Amino acid sequence: MIDPAHPPPATDWHALDAERALAALDARATGLDESEVAERLERFGPNALPAAPPRSLLRRLGDQFHNLLIYVLLGAAVLATAIGHILDALVVLGVVLVNAAIGLVQEGRAERALDAIRKLMDPQTSVLRNGRRVRLRADRLVPGDIVLLEAGDRVPADLRLIQALGLRVEEAALTGESIPVDKQAGAVAADAALGERGSMAYSGTLVVAGHGRGVVAATGSASELGRIGNLLGSVQMLRTPLLRKMDAFSRRITGAILVAGIGLLAYAVLVTGRRWDEAFMIVVGFAVAAIPEGLPAVMTITLAVGVQRMAARHAVIRNLPAVETLGSVSVICSDKTGTLTRNEMMVVAIDAGDGSIDVQGEGYRPSGRLLTGATELDSAALQALAALARAACLCNDAELDLDEGHVQIHGDPMEAALLALAGKLGHPHERVRAANPRIDAVPFDARHRYMATLNRTPDGSCLAMLKGAPEQVLQMCRRQHAPAAARFDPADWQRRAETLAARGLRVLALAERHLPDPSGSFGATVSAGGFTLLGLVGLIDPPRGEAREAVAECRSAGIEVKMITGDHAGTAAAIARELGMHREPTVVVGAELDAMDAEALLLVARTASVFARTSPEHKLRLVQALQEDGRVVAMTGDGVNDAPALKRADVGVAMGQGGTEAAKAAAEMVLTDDNFATIVAAVREGRTVYDNLTKVIAWTLPTNGGEALVILIAVVLGLTLPVTPVQILWVNMVTAVALGLTLAFEPTEPGVMRRPPRPAGESLLQARLLWRIGFVSVLFVTAIFSMFHWAQVRQLPIEAARTMVVNTLVVLEIFYLFSVRYVHGASITWRGVLGTPAVLLGVATVTALQFAFTYVPIMQTLFGTRGLSFTDGIAIVGCGVAMLLVVEAEKWLLDRLPRSRTTAAGQGP
């Protein structure tokens, strides 16, 4: 006997026969007694997934400030407070707090994913305890308990089945298998894949037919569902490309500002002889000018605008940076069932002896065309299939309900598809069943691989109907229904079945036998054979109609689509061919992945397009291998088995309608229409968002660079500061929100989906952008010092001169905004001048604020400003026009450089 104290590993339970499994678990067919249950509950714990202690609100809030750019902003606020610039400090702190609040709302995705998996544990289950059937909470189950299963039950723990009568279990959420799995009590091979362990019923799966009982082999985190939960908890989420780039950008700008600030302080004190406190104030002003205070807020809002646009396209974003990440996706790893396919079985082919017939239609709707080649079947041909339709209705336990155009199924999806087929053949199942009431039945059993029913016909005789695996049904037939004159050839029919199976179809054979006077056991009558073969039907979970176009658009955008599914290799390959993923897709099964080292896995991840019979670990390894290869990976899925890979991927995409809560909670994006094509629309929007982000940066950094250079040059040359720190902060915050924010609403540029994905490691600060920052900064400095000098020559008060400088700075930013909106095209066009409604509103808002800044008394007191003359205003606007002309000329020249040089300089703004 196996030592009960050392039971075999959980992965081997399916390989033990029922008696040895009971012995290994020290269990009895009549169930445990209460003392045994108490002892095991103490030893193994409750049948529930452990809940991680939640982080406190204070801890979660503190984590939002763990960012280098935020540290710089906080440091600027502290310095501003130290020198009495309270207004500066308050505005900077406001930016920091807004970003922290947004991050706090987005927190806790991993915790919610684990909570969603826990909800799959059915709270109630039927158990044998000491020979008595009792109903109790699933968390009270222990290894060795005997659980009773019936149709509609959620399996409460991992069970080694000891009895199974017509038992079928839907395991799609765990394995990705689109068809319920037949279960039996007999042992299977030790190396059987998860979806082929017919002797096991796993926690969280659903019983759709039959009944049975099993001994609890694993509970809680030791179960297969719990193991996925543990795997999900151990997966480390990668930082998105945007966050990685922003971190690198923050480090660079922080280092540059610190070095320049220290150098400026030393120069002001040691070279120009300024006092320490005066020099310190200048350095603070320099830091305020150089730091793009509004950039984090504007970038966050730009992402939020992308979120709103995607929501209108049925894509709900749960993590703001994922919007930008979508724009750089280079590989989409898609689950098959419910994502690329409808998750609805459908008969697509019939062979009744006169050749294959194609069946069209949608899902379980009992309507659709039947074609031989391009010719639709006529009424006479349909009538010849009446016997096949009758068998499809009668040898069937499913139900179809049509309620206001919606079809709801009850029972096995394959049987529901047969009812839909009967409707397409002109024989509604309700009418057929009413005319042929059932007398007896032999339920489906994995051992004999068929189902049979006995029905009373309208003429008073009896008719036995048979449905099952072709190789089994053919052995029980002696003749065929059509063509009646042909000799029945089982070998020929077997070849026909194999032809259908080669298309990735699930094949069933249907037969009938007239019994004028049935006597004796119906089961014995069926097993005696003598049936007439009616034909073969081929079923498949068909691809979504729009998925082919979506896959084609992905390929034109340079995005690979790889199918990763738990379904059969043949079925997956057939769907891949129909979707146009590859004419002859390379298919790799999970068992092959197990034998691969990291190098071999990387090669297969690059080249193969279909991965079948995969486990959660396989999906996770494939995502990791693609990421190590430098790819930005989007992973789609709907089941619990997809959750770890969804969490690990750069963008996890869950199905909102048919997906499990665990998948939704682990993903960054949820599709409310479960439409693969929506992912393509989301990628397009993601690329638009990235374009707009680069425009924001291209507009923000030169303005900050110009302000910082003004202070730096003034100190080096011993000049009076043309602008104060608080005035610089006013410009940064007002224009960043009212002007920079308008770039978030820029529409998609033409050809955005005809260019390849951006490399994952591509820097935000490309060569052309760095040139633009330097070039425009010099233009800003030139204009500012020119206006300041002109005011001094006219002997205007220092307050009026600085007011002219601030207004010049704002006008320069307005005109530069019109140039930035078009990266490669000219901005001096009617379309460019008119702008978008957001741009016009932003310009009007800034203009009104600047009038208030210049002329309202309280603003003059706060910011040290003075009113300006009409002539001053004309000169300021003239500076803006001149700068736009110069920048457009620079753009025109760069666009006409040889392609090799512009490519080397970077194609971004």
Going by pLDDT thresholds of 50, 70 and 90, the confidence category of residue 395 is very high
pLDDT for residue 818 is more than 70: yes
Tokens representing residue 579 in the block? 């979707």
Highest mean pLDDT among 115-119, 141-145, 326-330, 743-747: 141-145
Residue 17 burial class via C-beta count within 10 angstroms: exposed 0-12, middle 13-18, buried 19 and up:
middle
pLDDT at 84: 67
pLDDT for residue 286 is more than 50: yes
pLDDT at 324: 73
Highest mean pLDDT among 248-257, 292-301, 336-345, 894-903: 336-345
Quick: pLDDT tens for 253-271. 777 888 888 898 898 888 8
pLDDT at 545: 77
pLDDT at 812: 95
pLDDT at 435: 95
Q: Looking at this protein, which amino acid is placed at residue 405? A: G
Beta-ladder partners of 146: 128, 215
pLDDT for residue 116 is more than 70: no
pLDDT at 101: 66
pLDDT for residue 825 is more than 90: no
- What mean pLDDT comes out for the span 673-690? 83
Using an 8 Å Cβ cutoff, are 650 and 634 in contact? yes
Cis previous bond, 518, omega within 30: no
Going by pLDDT thresholds of 50, 70 and 90, the confidence category of residue 4 is very low
Q: Which of 88, 145, 182, 335 is catalytic?
A: 335
- 709 DSSP 8-state letter: H
pLDDT at 436: 96
Pairing of strands 477-480, 531-540: parallel
pLDDT at 833: 63
Tokens representing residue 48 in the block? 């529930």
**Cα first-last separation, the chain:** 74
Selected residue with higher pLDDT from 12 and 385: 385
Selected residue with higher pLDDT from 856 and 401: 856
pLDDT at 272: 83
Selected residue with higher pLDDT from 211 and 172: 211
Going by pLDDT thresholds of 50, 70 and 90, the confidence category of residue 906 is very low
Beta-ladder partners of 165: 211
Using an 8 Å Cβ cutoff, are 438 and 478 in contact? no
- 270 DSSP 8-state letter: I
b/e code 667-690 from CB counts within 10 Å (16+ = b): bbbbbeebbbbbbbbbbbbbbbbb
For residue 165, give every residue at least 6 positions away whose Cβ sits within 8 Å of its Cβ, in sequence order, or none: 210, 211, 212, 443, 445
Going by pLDDT thresholds of 50, 70 and 90, the confidence category of residue 903 is very low
Residues 815, 821: Cα–Cα separation, whole Å: 11
Using an 8 Å Cβ cutoff, are 68 and 250 in contact? yes
Using an 8 Å Cβ cutoff, are 556 and 753 in contact? yes
Quick: pLDDT tens for 183-229. 999 999 988 888 889 999 998 888 888 889 999 999 988 888 777 76
The region of weakest confidence among 17-26, 161-170, 815-824 is 815-824
Quick: pLDDT tens for 763-782. 666 777 888 888 999 999 99
pLDDT at 909: 34
Residues 98, 386: Cα–Cα separation, whole Å: 69
Main-chain dihedrals φ then ψ at residue 542, nearest 5 degrees? -70, 150
Going by pLDDT thresholds of 50, 70 and 90, the confidence category of residue 899 is very low
pLDDT at 559: 92
The region of weakest confidence among 151-155, 163-167, 419-423 is 151-155
pLDDT for residue 304 is more than 80: no
SS (H, E, C) 410-473: ECCHHHHHHHHHHHHCCCCHHHHHHHCCEEEEEEEECCCCEEEEEEECCCCCEEEEEEECHHHH
- What mean pLDDT comes out for the span 513-535? 89
Q: Give yes or no: 158 in active site.
A: no
CA distances from 132 to 141, 151, 180, 810 (A): 15, 21, 30, 83
pLDDT at 757: 85
Specify whether the backbone of 532 is left (phi greater than 0), alpha (psi in -120 to 50) or beta.
beta
The region of weakest confidence among 91-95, 110-114, 178-182, 901-905 is 901-905
- What mean pLDDT comes out for the span 63-92? 67
The region of weakest confidence among 107-121, 418-432, 802-816, 846-860 is 107-121
Highest mean pLDDT among 205-214, 654-663, 833-842: 205-214
SS (H, E, C) 363-423: CCCCCCCEEECCEECCHHHHHHCHHHHHHHHHCCCCEEEEECCEEEEECCHHHHHHHHHHH
- What mean pLDDT comes out for the span 611-625? 89
Give the global pTM: 0.65
Q: What percent of the chain is modeled with pLDDT above 90?
A: 34
Going by pLDDT thresholds of 50, 70 and 90, the confidence category of residue 457 is very high
pLDDT for residue 835 is more than 70: no
pLDDT at 8: 43
The region of weakest confidence among 74-88, 529-543, 639-653 is 74-88
Going by pLDDT thresholds of 50, 70 and 90, the confidence category of residue 95 is low
